[in-house]
Amino acid sequence: MKNIILIDKPIGLTSNDVVCKMKKTCGYKKVGHAGTLDPQASGLLVIGINKGTKLLANFLFDDKQYETTFTFGIKTNTGDGQGKIIKKSQHRITLTMIKKACQFFLKNEYYQIPPIFSAKKINGIRAYKLALANKKVRLKPQLVKIKKLKIIAFNPQLKTLKIIIDVTKGFYVRSFCNDLAKKLKTVAYVSQLRRTKSGKYHLKHAVSLATYLHQNKSIKNI
């Protein structure tokens, strides 16, 4: 689709960082995205440029697919590997236990509480900014659904679980990681997260941000 670009976002950048880099390097007047990715997540970011920004609203309700790894036995304040460790657990879990717990979440829609370290807004302020300021953050639960879940690998020694998960709009993988761990009477954090699909778009058709910027550098910036 014209003016819709599929970018493979690297780890370490916010979705807004990608938007700003494309504006500055390529000289586009308008750039937007259809669905935020955490800084520590990589993968598919659907970008609209110039007239394409008007089309982004059509993609906001699209289902998403993620390839993710959970590490059990450790909980961080951010829900990923960049946060501070706030809890540990020695509770032993098995693949059978994991499969049973996953089936519980696959049955129906359920209410999920977004992570406090997220881009959700509370009275116009991003939740993560309030959390960083050590202020109380209360986010409303939202109805989400897991459409498909495939277990790729479970390593009992490393306590890691790798899955591919297809979910509805507004689903937070970090929240699911926490919810699944609770169901298993342990704790966990997301040690790897990569978006592989967004609606009809797939990561295999995306280009890395570095490659796109190099190929579409504005004459003004040469």
Q: List active site positions.
A: 38
Q: What is the CA radius of gyration of the chain?
A: 18
Whole-Å CA distances, 14 to 11, 31, 37? 8, 14, 7
What angle (nearest 5°) sits at the alpha carbon of residue 136, between those of residues 130 and 140?
Answer: 90
* CA atoms lying within 13 Å on the CB side of residue 147: 11
Structure tokens belonging to residue 222: 């040469």
Q: Cβ distance 197 to 203 under 8 Å?
A: yes
